[in-house]
Each structure stands twice: as C-alpha cells, then as structure tokens.
Amino acid sequence: MKVELRTDAPPKPAYDAPCNGCGLCCAVETCPLGLVLFRRRQGPCPALVWQDGRYVCGVLDRPKDFIALLPTAWAARLVARWIAAGKGCDCRHEAEEHQDG
C-alpha cells in the first residue's frame, strides 16, 4: 500500500524505538480507536494531524474535536492508553525512500 506523507516529516524510527511523529503507522493502518470512531480499517486515519513539524493523533491532541462527550482529561488518558502512546514504534511497515528527479 502506498501512502503519501509530507517529505519534511521525520524518518520512521526503528521498531520499538520512541515515536518521533513520522505518521507512517496512522497513514497505513487504523488503530482500534480509529476503527470505533471512524468505522474504517485502513489508513490514512482521519485524525492524523500535521503539527509543529511532526504528525500527531488529533484525538489525543484535541479530544474535544473527536470525543466531545467525555471530559478532556478522561479522553486524553483513554486515548493515550488505547493507541499505546509512549510505548514505542509498533509499525512494522517500512517507508519507501523518496527520490527526486
């Protein structure tokens, strides 16, 4: 599956290395939360947001925009747990090298 990401996005880290906001995981697959919220199995996730030079989960960063009924603090904790935020890269897909010319 070919996905389009910004060329200035950080390179994909090694599997299990800390997340750097490359966005590949959310562009390729939809996490369990995305399955529930957006009813979609494949990426790109509608909540994938470019912010400050990296990709972030919009549901984690701005929960009120996606889960308006939950208090923000609860939503943030729930989302962080559901997407395994802070657990390291779990994307087994590899990014293709971008060649100009």
- Within the chain, strands assigned E span 48-51, 54-57
- The pTM of the full predicted model, rounded to 2 decimals, is 0.81
30-87 residue pLDDT tens: 888 888 889 988 778 999 999 999 999 999 888 888 888 877 777 778 888 888 887 8
Q: Return the amino acid letter for 29.
A: E
Q: In whole angstroms, how far apart are CA 13 and each of 10, 19, 35, 62, 88?
A: 8, 7, 24, 24, 9
39: which strand partners?
A: none
Q: Which amino acid is at 43?
A: G
pLDDT given for residue 1 in this prediction: 61
